[in-house]
Every structure is written in structure tokens, then in C-alpha cells.
């Protein structure tokens, strides 16, 4: 499994990064991105620490740790600035907390994240066809999520991705141990989103290609 969206106790997850990584290692994960929630108040606190623990763990653990961040509830006109700052601080994957229908995410967040060049639009909610097209053109991944609530619009996201050629990744958005994805459950989430059973492999391949683009080979 490759999972590019998880939370540690550096935001609202329950696990220390080292325990998070150890737990997914025992589940046979190949790679995990730790992408804690951040805005301008905590970005410089969170990202360098995830970078540090990632470097330490990558010396010994079999699962590859990718330091990232999830820019969350950022006013859309600030997303570009904070995305650039995230990369300067060492985030290899920048996820933007997209317009899920179960939270009052500011309208325009998906578009601002696409314009700014995020890596993944997490739980994009009822994104528009134009936005899906922009994701396809810019090589930005749209998320199929296993997270309760956010997953209500997986079907919509899958349909627009199929229509526009946007590529999808499957993520757990895990906040605690029970949220990590076993492969059999991940396959069910993919199928439940309206994809064919063999799409699971394609989504994992998409995640692998994103990692290759940012310099990780598995």
C-alpha cells in the first residue's frame, strides 16, 4: 500500500509519527506520507519536524516516509503563498484540504489549490468539470478518500476524473490506528466509489508515479 495522506499528533491525529510509521510498516505498507493540518500559525512548527523524523526513520524502517502537509481551511488567496512556503520548509507532498461537503471549506479552495500547483486535492467534494479538467492538464491528483463523511462525494470525483482524464489516488486520511487501510478494505473503497476492481492497482500506480516525480523510488 501507498498512502499519501495521514495525520500524526502534530495536528489532530492520535499517534506520534514513529508509531504511525511502525504501525503501517507492520501492515505491509510500502510508503506513507505524513500530511498534518497546517495554516500560517503552525506550518514552520510542523513541517521541519516531520522532515526530521522522516529522515531518521528512512534509515531503518522498510516503509518509506514522505514528509508532507495538508494546507487546511486556508483562505483561497493565501494558498499559493503557503504552498510555496511548505515546499521551502521541506514538504515533499502538499495536499490541500479540498471542498468536502461535510465542512465549511471556503468556496474557491479547489481552484486556488489547482492554480497554485498542489500535489493532491484531498476530498474535493463537488468539484466542477473545469476544475477536474485543470487537474488533468496540470497533472494534479484528485483523491478518492476512505475517510467517513469526506467519502460521500467519491462517486462524483470518480465520474469527473473519468470524463476529463484527471488521475486519482486513494488515501486513508488516517487520524488513528483503526483508519489505516488494509489492502482488502482499500479494494472495497475503490469499488464502492464506482471504479472497477482492477482500478485499485491503477490508483496505487498513480501514487507510485507521484512519488517518482518527487524523487522517491520504491
C-beta of 35 vs 206, nearer to Zn ion: 35
Q: Which stretch binds Zn ion (CB under 5 A): 12-20, 124-132, 151-159, 165-173?
A: 165-173
DSSP state of 146: -
Among 36, 119, 131, 173, binds Zn ion (CB under 5 A): 173
Among 64, 97, 167, 187, binds Zn ion (CB under 5 A): 97
How far apart CA 95 and CA 4 sit, in angstroms, is 9
Footprint on residues 54-83 left by Zn ion (CB under 5 A) = 70
Tell me how far, at minimum, the Cβ of 94 lies from Zn ion, in Å: 12
Q: Which CB contacts under 8 angstroms, 24+ apart, belong to 85-90?
A: 85/43, 85/44, 86/38, 86/43, 86/47, 89/43, 89/44, 89/47, 89/48, 89/51, 90/47, 90/48, 90/51
All 3 cell numbers of residue 28?
505491509
All 3 cell numbers of residue 68?
508532507
Is residue 122 a contact point for Zn ion (CB under 5 A)?
yes
Is residue 36 a contact point for Zn ion (CB under 5 A)?
no
C-beta of 3 vs 173, nearer to Zn ion: 173
Enumerate binding residues for Zn ion (CB under 5 A).
70, 97, 122, 173
Amino acid at each position: 500500500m501507498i498512502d499519501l495522506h495521514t495525520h500524526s499528533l502534530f495536528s489532530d491525529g492520535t499517534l506520534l509519527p514513529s508509531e504511525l510509521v511502525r504501525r503501517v510498516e507492520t501492515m505491509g505498507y510500502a510508503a506513507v506520507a505524513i500530511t498534518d493540518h497546517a495554516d500560517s500559525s503552525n506550518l514552520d512548527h510542523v513541517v521541519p519536524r516531520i522532515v526530521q523524523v522522516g529522515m531518521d526513520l528512512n534509515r531503518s524502517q522498510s516503509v518509506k516516509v514522505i514528509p508532507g502537509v495538508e494546507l487546511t481551511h486556508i483562505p483561497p488567496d493565501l494558498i499559493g503563498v503557503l504552498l510555496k512556503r511548505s515546499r521551502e520548509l521541506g514538504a515533499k507532498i502538499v495536499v490541500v484540504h479540498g471542498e468536502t461537503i461535510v465542512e465549511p471549506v471556503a468556496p474557491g479552495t479547489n481552484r486556488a489549490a489547482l492554480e497554485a500547483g498542489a500535489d493532491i486535492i484531498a476530498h474535493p467534494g463537488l468539484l466542477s468539470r473545469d476544475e477536474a479538467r485543470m487537474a488533468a492538464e496540470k497533472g494534479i491528483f484528485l483523491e478518492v478518500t476512505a475517510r467517513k463523511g469526506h467519502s460521500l462525494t467519491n462517486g462524483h470525483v470518480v465520474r469527473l476524473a473519468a470524463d476529463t482524464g484527471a488521475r486519482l489516488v486513494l488515501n486513508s486520511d488516517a487520524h488513528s490506528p483503526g483508519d489505516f487501510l488494509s489492502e482488502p478494505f482499500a479494494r472495497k473503497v475503490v469499488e464502492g466509489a464506482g471504479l472497477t476492481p482492477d482500478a485499485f492497482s491503477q490508483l496505487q500506480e498513480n501514487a507510485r508515479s507521484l512519488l517518482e516525480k518527487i524523487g522517491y523510488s520504491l
